[in-house]
Structure 1
Amino acid sequence: MEYAALQEEIKNAMRARDKNRLAILRQVLGEVKNIEVNERREIVEADVDAMLKRLVKQTSETLEGSIKAGTNEERTAMLKEQVEILEAYLPKQIEGAELVALVEKTIAEVGAETKRDMGKVMGALNAATGGNFDKAAAAKEVGSRLA
């Protein structure tokens, strides 16, 4: 998600009076602005995506704790909604046939032949996609193609 698109989504949430979405998007914006101020550089799309992934992970962990505690159903419902909102803004994950084709291409580019080369292939996949792929499925596919 681009920085300008994030700001536009905040405006849309304000117009729709969607307080939960607005709070989450403002949290993302605040974290991204911290990067801008602390590192003194322009924000790129990868910064926003990384922040979204980090917040999804943090909110998911909080949600798991809330579910295990089982005491506050209202808070658990709010956390579920927050995770869904954040995941909607994440870039599309590469999976299925597209992932298989990318794995084949990457194995050929890296010149991988044995399972020892699996780390190289996974690293190249991560670099090529920015980490936006189903890692478990990719590891299974790479493992099945290498001797």
Structure 2
Amino acid sequence: MQYEKLQEEIKNAMRAHDKNRLSILRQVHGEVKNIEVNERRDIVEADVDAMLKQTGETLEGSIKAATSEERTAMLKEQVAILEEYLPKQVSGDELIALIEKTIADLGAETKRDMGKVMGALTAATGGNFDKAAAAKEVGSRLA
């Protein structure tokens, strides 16, 4: 998601009086802004995507630790909101086809090449794939 799109979504949530959406988007915006201030550089789309993903993972951890049903419900709703903005994850047949192509392109043959294959997959998808499933599939294809 582009930084400008995040700012626009915050405005839309304010107009719609959607407090939950506004809260989570402002949280992500604050984290992204911290990157800009602390690292003294402009924000890129990957920064916003990384913050969306990281915030979602943090919320999922909070859901597991939560004792209040009301708080858990709110956190689940916020995770659902964040998932709307995350890039689509590569999975299933699409992931298998990408693995086959990557192995062929790299000429990978042994388990020693697994790191190269996983690195290439990460670069090709921006890290948006099921890493556990990919590792299992790659491992089964390498000798």
Normalised-by-shorter TM-score class: over 0.9
Write the mapping of 1:109-120 to structure 2, written as runs, cut at 5 A: 109-120=105-116
Aligned length: 143
Task: Determine which of 122, 132, 140 is the counterpart of 2:136.
Answer: 140
Displacement after TM superposition at 1:34 (Å): 0.9
What are the ranges of 5 or more consecutive residues in structure 2 without an aligned counterpart? none
DSSP 3-state at the match of 1:91: coil
DSSP 3-state at the match of 2:127: coil
Which 4+ residue blocks in structure 1 deviate beyond 4 angstroms?
Answer: none
Residue 92 (structure 1) aligns with: 88
Residue 38 (structure 1) aligns with: 38
Q: Is structure 2 residue 5 aligned with structure 1 residue 5?
A: yes
Task: Determine which of 101, 108, 112 is the counterpart of 2:104.
Answer: 108
What are the ranges of 5 or more consecutive residues in structure 1 without an aligned counterpart? none
Residue 63 (structure 2) aligns with: 63
Residue 20 (structure 2) aligns with: 20
Q: Which amino acid aligns with 1:65?
A: A
**Structure 2 length as normaliser, TM-score?**
0.95
Residue 125 (structure 1) aligns with: 121
Task: Determine which of 61, 65, 69 is the counterpart of 1:73.
Answer: 69
DSSP 3-state at the match of 1:139: helix
DSSP 3-state at the match of 2:41: coil
